[in-house]
Structure 1
């Protein structure tokens, strides 16, 4: 690198040079770890002005570093420490020489050079003390001073390496305005190169600057991410930024304002796109986020942390880590009444819902007292909270063993689920609640409670007749089929309005399981004579049955249409059998009987036999 070098001076004749920014750092400590000294009302007398960055760099490269490298090889006292320092000094010399010529105009580089100059001068003074056989001040004091200087130099070298890796020193100053405290936030339509430069510059300032500079860098980064409609900026942050450095700001030792801004930035990355979310997880972000949620941070900070947790746990490949980080009790506590805002509760239970299918999480959720918390959320939470709590219970009951299912029922989950099913209006919430009820119906106590609730079956009837989600209708049909043996005739009679819907559902080709669910539910209702009459009176339903029996209709499994016709023929009376015969059912049954479809021959005999007897009776009487 080409720099303007002054005439080299002997190292012992170098005048002391104050820092470019004396309010930022004392001579021996690195810029980022030093508290500012008290402000002075006037500069000290006879204090020389600070050298320009190029002049200071020339002094370092031309005088200080060569002298120190020579001293590090020849010094006698504390030789092992000086040998280690020699490697640091050599790396520093190489890094400074590799800096582009335009680097001296960059404020971060100039600040770094200003901190290097007094640190190297102090180190040179230490080398003179080590050369003195008398070891002025004593060996232990000298060893301590040398360790402090070595640590300070290593930190400054780290910052210099970071600046060089970021690439921001190689950019044309006239194009990028590097003298600004923080670069101007690129517009949403800016090029990827402009956004990449801004992001690299922001992360460099975030790791090297003082508190004020870090806050400004974070605020600018948040502004960029907030306008990131297409998630392009989040992807650039994930690829070109240092997400690990951002996550370190979530530590409890960080300044609260830094932690708040960092939580907001991580939440943006976790929710923007899969690429940035994966980087946040791969860099170990879940643990710090859980600690922020568990801490006494500001409500807004906890909301941002739990939003990031919910987004990360939505990925199946990342959900397992919640148990590994001990996050289950933290999420449960965040769901408890009074532990946070409704937003925190809703996002925390959504995160639990995401991970409830994992075995370790299920065990921890039950053992840590999560079931009563879920029941409370069902009874008093918002609709989103109720939905997540219901889906969490569904996962616990579906993937858990009989003991887990029994504990859920014992915790009192069934009654609030029934209440939500009765009062909720959204189909999504109905779907979540019905899933949970369906999973708990295998417990005998829960099944008895459901069978004794006409209101529950009226709700199932309404869900099937209303239309909408075919999967929701299928679930309701499954519940009718499974619980019908324990239901009273009066309840079955009240479910007559859904009979035509069940016949229509049997025509649904995909998924194929819908045909089975509807057929089972319809057969369960056909045990009642009034329901059989309801079906046979509906011409559309009879036409649909005839269409399903047609052997040419290969999309429909003939098992349930034949079973329904047989149930009608066995218990519907002569009028029902005549109605089926007149509709042309016998022709299809004849072909199905020849194909040996189970039940078709018996249904044919029942319908055609009674029709023959009826015709003979009419002829005899006439």
Structure 2
């Protein structure tokens, strides 16, 4: 009996070894075909599909512990034979796919490739069924340690390939751990990004497949991994060719949570920088998905809305897509609604910048923005009584500038009717340095719109504030802008009359003309032009002559500054002639 038992055990061991040998041969054949398939130039997408099936088979078979005496032995043996046969048949198609000879034509080749893909798909299902029956067991996985900092590319490649093997065939927990580990090394080492894209067979395809994984944790990690890769310009094309855009957009369209959708929007934001891949996003319904995110801003949350607006802003750079957004997707009313609602500050800032980008495209887009009441909403954002960050108010002023001033004849009435002047004046007086500068630029633009606008600004009290800015500002640019705006306002008679009523205004200008530099600065030249305007009235001339700082004009005239000499001529009078005899003779 003992001898019989020993012979049986020996026979079982030999059978198990034979089975392991057949398993190893099947794995070698699969690896060989995967490598050879990369030389195929015809029907690359079909070969990519075949490689995906081969990788899944390889990963599943590599983790099998064979037990020859198990109930599933015969089924498993048959599966191995079928896999080897299918791989052999597929291998014969590689030369035909290299463009050397078709062996029946392209239609026949395409049909043969479809048959191979279908056969391999069936074998993947058969392996899953055998494993699910419990007749085979998964081998205990060997955990490959993460390479240390500065490791060679070969060590990194070995580790990353092991992670992808786990992602392909591992159970839920193994996949989560592998996805997390992959993200860690991708963020820490650029070599890993190169390995995933260049050295792992269908590495991008595996990640693309995981984007639609039912396991939310794995899906999030896959989105993060793709986002890291998308951050490198050299690899964006590999992601797009690998089909990443469609599943990312589907994530935005599904019932996934805001955090997952935010990751998807971040991926699209990186892929569409400088309007790259804009058409691919639009072709897969990305515009509609992103507009829907902004439309449901209460449920989406601020971070997701911000990310969606950043993507849309990249797409706006393409004329046809911008026109579709405005005419068909209904983006403008969605953004205006977002400005009027309780959305957080950052989301509203993104909406303002997107509205400005849309309006900057063409006249029809600008008109659509105006018709939807965007100006009223932007001016409302400037209301000091409504809590807003200084950054939001700065962006609102810039957006108004972009929307209204390219065609002020159509939009200035909307601005003036929306108490815009009062808002600008308030921030000239009370804003921080950056906000005050934005308000000053708006005032400067307003001064060049029309005479009626200049009159309205004069009535509102802009002139003393502009003088004060010229006097107090440290920035040369700020002083110049304020001086130029003041000079423009002085071209209106009513403003000149109002200005000279306060002696301090004229005195401050003359004081600012002090000879503290050899050549007058641009700001000082605008102040001299302002005085030229004032000398057109007798009251203006009297105020200049009565100022204790009129001597500054003499000094400038002595240095042959033409506007100073022109002012002295206009002042005239025996008293000045005695003071400035000969200065104005040219």
TM-score by length of 1: 0.64
**Matched residue SS, 1:407:** helix
Show the counterpart of 2:443: 477
Mapped partners of 2:462, 2:117: distance in 1: 85
Q: Tell me, in whole angstroms, the C-alpha distance in 1 between the residues paired with 2:398 and 2:358.
A: 11
Give the equivalent residue in structure 2 for 1:564.
Answer: 530
User: What's 1:96 paired with?
Assistant: none
The equivalent position to 1:574 in structure 2, one of 526, 542, 550, is 542
Alpha carbons of structure 1 residues 521 and 308: separation in structure 2 relative to 1, 3 Å: same
Matches within 5 A, 1:190-201: 191=151, 193=153, 195-201=156-162
Mark the CA change 1:496 to 1:330 in structure 2 (over 3 Å): closer, same or farther.
same
Distance 2:160 2:35 in 1: 30
Matches within 5 A, 1:489-508: 492-503=459-470, 508=475
Shift, 1:398, TM fit: 1.8
Correspondence for 2:394: 431
Q: C-alpha separation between the residues in 2 aligned to 1:51 and 1:468?
A: 84
Which of 175, 186, 201 in structure 2 is aligned with 1:214?
A: 175
- Once the 2 structures are TM-superposed, how far is the Cα of residue 283 of structure 1 from its aligned partner? 4.4
- The alignment of Structure 1 onto Structure 2 pairs a total of residues equal to 486
Matched, 1:605 2:572: no
What is the aligned counterpart of 2:375 among 383, 394, 414? 414
| Counterpart residue number, 1:138 | none
Unaligned runs of at least 5 residues, structure 2 = 1-8, 38-57, 67-74, 87-111, 125-138, 581-586
Q: CA deviation at 1:267?
A: 3.5
Structure 1 contact 546–584 (Cα < 8 Å) conserved:
yes
Deviation, structure 1 residue 546: 3.8
User: Which of 357, 374, 378 is the equivalent residue of 1:395?
Assistant: 357
CA distance, structure 2, for counterparts of residue 212 and residue 611 of structure 1: 98
Q: What is aligned with 1:376?
A: 337
What is the deviation of 1:324? 4.4
With over 3 angstroms needed to count, the CA separation of the structure-2 counterparts of 1:149 and 1:473, relative to structure 1, is: closer
- Is the 1:590–1:604 Cα contact (8 Å) retained in structure 2? no
Superposition map of 1:170-319 within 5 A? 180=141, 182-184=143-145, 191=151, 193=153, 195-209=156-170, 213-224=174-185, 228=187, 237=196, 244-250=204-210, 252=212, 258-270=218-230, 280-281=239-240, 283-319=242-278
Change (3 A) 1:556 1:443: closer
Q: In the aligned structure 2, how far is the partner of 1:566 from the partner of 1:606?
A: 8
| CA distance, structure 1, for counterparts of residue 242 and residue 263 of structure 2 | 18
- After superposing the two structures, state which structure 1 stretch, 534-543 or 288-297, moved more: 534-543
Aligned partners of 1:418 and 1:456 also within 8 Å: no
Does the 8 Å CA contact 1:378/1:389 hold for their aligned counterparts? yes
Shift of 1:490: 7.6
On the 8 A contact 2:496/2:534 being kept in 1, the answer is no
Q: 1:67-106 maps to which residues of 2 (within 5 A)?
A: none
Residues 256 and 587 of structure 1, relative CA distance in 2, 3 Å threshold: closer
For residues 219 and 239 of structure 1, the distance between their equivalents in structure 2, rounded to whole angstroms, comes to 20
Say what the alpha-carbon RMSD is for the aligned residues: 4.8
Shift of 1:499: 1.7
For residues 312 and 149 of structure 1, do their structure 2 counterparts lie closer, same or farther at Cα, with a shift above 3 Å needed?
A: closer
Q: Is the Cα–Cα contact under 8 Å of residues 586 and 608 in structure 1 kept in the other structure?
A: no
Question: TM (normalized to structure 2)?
Answer: 0.67
Q: Aligned equivalents of 2:241 and 2:567: distance in 1?
A: 64
- The answer to whether structure 1 residue 446 and structure 2 residue 405 are counterparts is no
**1:21 paired residue number:** none
Aligned residue in 2 for 1:111:
63
> Could you tell me how far apart the structure 1 residues matched to 2:116 and 2:197 are?
35
Match of 1:552 in 2: 519
Q: Distance in 1 between matches of 2:245 and 2:291?
A: 16
Q: Tell me if structure 1 keeps the 8 A contact 2:287–2:312.
A: yes
Deviation, 1:399, is 2.3
Q: 1:257 to 1:462 in 2, by over 3 A?
A: closer
Distance of 2:415 and 2:59 partners within structure 1:
72
